[in-house]
Amino acid sequence: MPMRQSRSQWLIDLNPILLSPGRCTKPALKQVKTWPEGAISALQDCFECTVSDMFREAATNGDTTDLEEYMSSVTSYIIKSIDDVTISKSITTCSNQKPWMNAKVHVLLKSRDSFRAFRAGDMDALRTAQAKLSRAIREAKHTHSQRIHSNLKTT
């Protein structure tokens, strides 16, 4: 007969280990394209110089035009042209990172946490840091919502 454990040992064994989702998953590396100053005019110049008949001629076989090949060649040309004028950057994102989180909020969050970490004892400085952080979060959320609304209006 197996040896029985006491009730307190059972309770210890049944306690789950809770981890936050941000600590369970590794940060992801994303490629983001940015449009530098003058990129749109450079792209327009590129498209003005393009001879559009070459795409149709490349997709034509005899009297028929292969629509799939025509579409893929035009799309590939557009993507290549965009890649030529944009700058690609690598950014690291966490699974729990909010879309409105910007550099200003991140810096204020670090400064507020430094007050807590060192237990400075200066409660006025901690309150000031928390007030600045909450104001920056409010502004960042407002800016993000305005950007989303403007994107929805244009599409």
- Give the model's pLDDT for residue 57: 86
What digits encode the pLDDT tens for the residues 104-140?
998 998 888 876 655 657 777 778 888 999 999 999 9
* Closest of 16, 99, 5, 84 to residue 45, by C-alpha: 84
What digits encode the pLDDT tens for the residues 38-68?
999 999 999 999 888 888 888 888 888 888 9
Rg of the chain on CA atoms, in Å = 28
For residue 61, report the phi and psi dihedrals to the nearest 5 degrees.
Answer: -130, 100
* Closest of 76, 75, 80 to residue 43, by C-alpha: 80
Residue 59 CA to residue 74 CA, distance in Å, equals: 10
Model's pTM, two decimal places? Answer: 0.52
Residue 88 CA to residue 133 CA, distance in Å, equals: 31
